[in-house]
Amino acid sequence: MPKKRRNRGRNLKNSGHEKTVQCYKCHRLVPADKAIKVTVWTSPIQGSVAKDLEKKGAYVSKRLETRYYCISCAIFYGIVSPRKEEERKVRSPLQRPLTGRRTSSKVPLKFLKI
């Protein structure tokens, strides 16, 4: 039977079983190697209010939150998108475009504060 993907949409590297994680949106239990992992900085205060407070000099706390999405939700919310059949066969890792200060500034990398 032909397979759609070589790894069947999973990252199960000879481990046999992976722990399950809960989808952030629909609370479905998904194997951790199949789920889409996204880390975002979140604040308990909403965006516009937090910006106003920061302008006034207040410290707004932030924390790094790890979210897992099931494949259905990740596609629905635009986190990942399905690729064409030929593109799925490409084995090279996906390249992320360079953004931020590194591309825009002409300061050598060793002088930048990361």
| Residues binding Zn ion (CB under 5 A) | 23, 25-26, 28, 70, 73
CB 65 within 8 A of CB 39: yes
- Could you tell me the smallest distance in angstroms from the CB atom of residue 9 to Zn ion? 14
- Minimum CB distance to Zn ion smaller for 25 or for 67: 25
- Could you tell me the smallest distance in angstroms from the CB atom of residue 26 to Zn ion? 3
- Minimum CB distance to Zn ion smaller for 28 or for 67: 28
- Could you tell me the smallest distance in angstroms from the CB atom of residue 65 to Zn ion? 16
47 token code pair: 């965006």
- Minimum CB distance to Zn ion smaller for 72 or for 105: 72
